[in-house]
A and B are shown apart, each in its own frame.
Chain A
């Protein structure tokens, strides 16, 4: 089976960098709340050190006593992954979140639904557009009228 350590190495490096950022953030916690082992800094410090140590071991095991199972898993994933699809969906999600309040729940959800279904391989454009609209209206009505949750009305102040 094919093996690849490229992915795990990048992941390990990102984890290590993130863990170091956590350590820096730990030292930004004010000591005002008390110092020592029962203060607000101690447990975060232990967690940060744990993260750094574990990330380092994770990274190290791509060279020393390599974790071959992970390398095979990673190679299989690399082969199967088509990056543009999840990236575009992530962009779609961010746009959805930002449009939710200005456009309102119904419009934003309708606009979001069909293109995402298309990205995911559906080609029934009309059906998906209708499904998105129906889903949006049903959810909006149910949540605002019966569950007492307020959702942004935006462009469609129907209730």
Chain B
């Protein structure tokens, strides 16, 4: 019951008129930016970071960002359904049936089941977070540097090996991120590293530069390159007054709960990620479908939207468990959230729970508020968000470039950093051309320095004896899991090939 009373205290901090206003503004802004095609939740948060500068008190800013977090996710699923352009890999599964539903004139129910499903999954996920947070943080206090090192390795490997089509390209992306993360002054020795003589690089390359460059500029250049190719995206209309009928509700509630049950554990594990649970949920709903639903799968079954969307949101909520309690982000979006904390000199992790419990519980309470606000504001506003999609793509892309430049300039106040961001954007363009995953880069940049620090701390204590990593059973288990995640997918496909089961090469 301790968690419960802490949560009540958190609500006490959050439930002020001004803070509720911040939550509403956050949800609206987050949805607005998230709806824009090609902009996922990670980029939404990165672009809106300058909004925090005027806050003296972190509570207001965190409430704003709780709203932006949920709004950005919901905005992304709106775009997936109406335009079939998922902004993040977690929305890909939603887009499959969602877009088909929209094509058949059922965009309204698809958006409604996504919104309510997100709310249900968010609420269940937040309840789990509330009761898991403190016990996990208590355990995390006992973690040694070797354990942290192993945790980061596992997070790297799972993002790289379990996502994307090629292990080599995933690993290359990860190592590019690790390289970018190493640039700058070494925290331990004070030596300048890998700056190639550019003085501005001494401070390192901010994660916001990397995210904005890869996601915004990279995507804009990619759109520009393919402009003469392919037709225009058609925005599907939202017809009818009724968003979610009785029949739709009857078909949706079980997939919502199943999606939540799949999404949260996957998100909360140190491997993180929303791709696996969303596709698992999609596959589950397809298999369980009977009667009319079975016929509809492939041409717009509501179960195929309700399940994956709930799984996506539950996974996103689950990601907050390792983020807040251990300080390890396991998705690109969580990595950018860390940047928001760092603006206020806060480092998520067990120490934050011990030192600033009021702040942490205020944040968790504000997530509840953001979640409710999302449902209250977005169902009535669906038609407004559809209007946002009608902005011509050329104007939109030009505006994204303006926002990207503004975001980086207002954080750094330096044209050099803007140029570095553009260079990363060109890199992002070529990564898209050659089908490299982008998320491992982001994770490498944010987790690389943490991994290195824990690695060196372990070796300093053990007097450079690598055996120290094998003395902690927890670390050993994690490292073994990491090796398995790296080796298993390749081995399974090889075994299948040998058996003639048609593993593709």
Q: Kindly list chain A residues whose C-beta atoms are within 8 Å of the C-beta of B169.
A: 58, 70
Are A149 and B50 touching (Cβ within 8 A)? Answer: yes
Q: Kindly list chain A residues whose C-beta atoms are within 8 Å of the C-beta of B188.
A: 33-34, 40
The stretch from B357-365, B366-374, B427-435 touching chain A is B427-435
- A80: contacting residue among B226, B399, B455, CB under 8 A: B226
Asked, given contacts A33-B190, A38-B459, A101-B415, whether A147 binds B175 with beta carbons under 8 Å apart, the answer is no
Nearest CB on B from A149, distance (A):
4
Q: What mask results when residues 210 to 233 of chain B are scored 1 for a CB within 8 Å of chain A, else 0?
A: 000000010011111111111000
Q: How many A-B residue pairs have CB under 8 A?
A: 200
Nearest CB on B from A108, distance (A):
9
- B226: contacting residue among A58, A65, A69, A81, CB under 8 A: A81
Nearest CB on B from A74, distance (A):
6
Interface size class of A (residues with CB under 8 A): 35 or more
Nearest CB on B from A140, distance (A):
9
Cβ of A151 within 8 Å of any chain B Cβ, yes or no, is yes
**Which residues of A, 80-103, contact B by the 8 Å Cβ criterion?**
80-83, 85-86, 89-90, 93-94, 96-98, 100-101
Q: Kindly list chain A residues whose C-beta atoms are within 8 Å of the C-beta of B221.
A: 86, 89-90
Are B182 and A100 touching (Cβ within 8 A)? Answer: no
Nearest CB on A from B226, distance (A):
5
Q: Kindly list chain A residues whose C-beta atoms are within 8 Å of the C-beta of B192.
A: 29
Asked, given contacts A54-B172, A73-B435, whether A29 binds B191 with beta carbons under 8 Å apart, the answer is yes
A149 to B54, CA, bound (A): 8
- A30: contacting residue among B179, B182, B191, B392, CB under 8 A: B191
Cβ of B460 within 8 Å of any chain A Cβ, yes or no, is yes
Are A74 and B434 touching (Cβ within 8 A)? Answer: yes
Nearest CB on A from B14, distance (A):
22
Q: Kindly list chain B residues whose C-beta atoms are within 8 Å of the C-beta of A79.
A: 229
A98 to B169, CA, bound (A): 34
Are A38 and B50 touching (Cβ within 8 A)? Answer: no
A94 to B426, CA, bound (A): 12
A2 to B381, CA, bound (A): 45
Q: What mask results when residues 311 to 347 of chain B are scored 1 for a CB within 8 Å of chain A, else 0?
A: 0000000000000000000000000000000000000
**Which residues of B, 367-423, contact A by the 8 Å Cβ criterion?**
392-395, 397-399, 401-402, 405-406, 409-410, 413, 415, 418-419, 422
Q: Kindly list chain B residues whose C-beta atoms are within 8 Å of the C-beta of A70.
A: 166, 169, 434-435
- B193: contacting residue among A44, A113, A148, A149, CB under 8 A: A44
Binding site for B on A (CB under 8 A): 7-8, 11, 15, 21-22, 25-26, 29-30, 32-34, 36-40, 42-44, 47-48, 50-51, 54-55, 57-58, 61, 65, 67-70, 73-74, 77, 79-83, 85-86, 89-90, 93-94, 96-98, 100-101, 109, 112-114, 116-122, 124, 128, 131-132, 135-136, 139, 143, 146-151
Q: Lowest 10 A-B CB distances belong to which pairs?
A: A33-B189, A122-B394, A120-B394, A80-B229, A38-B459, A33-B191, A149-B410, A40-B186, A86-B221, A116-B398
21 cross-chain CB contacts under 8 A: A7-B434, A15-B172, A29-B193, A29-B194, A34-B188, A43-B182, A65-B505, A69-B166, A85-B228, A89-B220, A96-B405, A100-B409, A116-B398, A117-B397, A118-B394, A124-B392, A136-B402, A143-B406, A143-B410, A147-B54, A151-B409
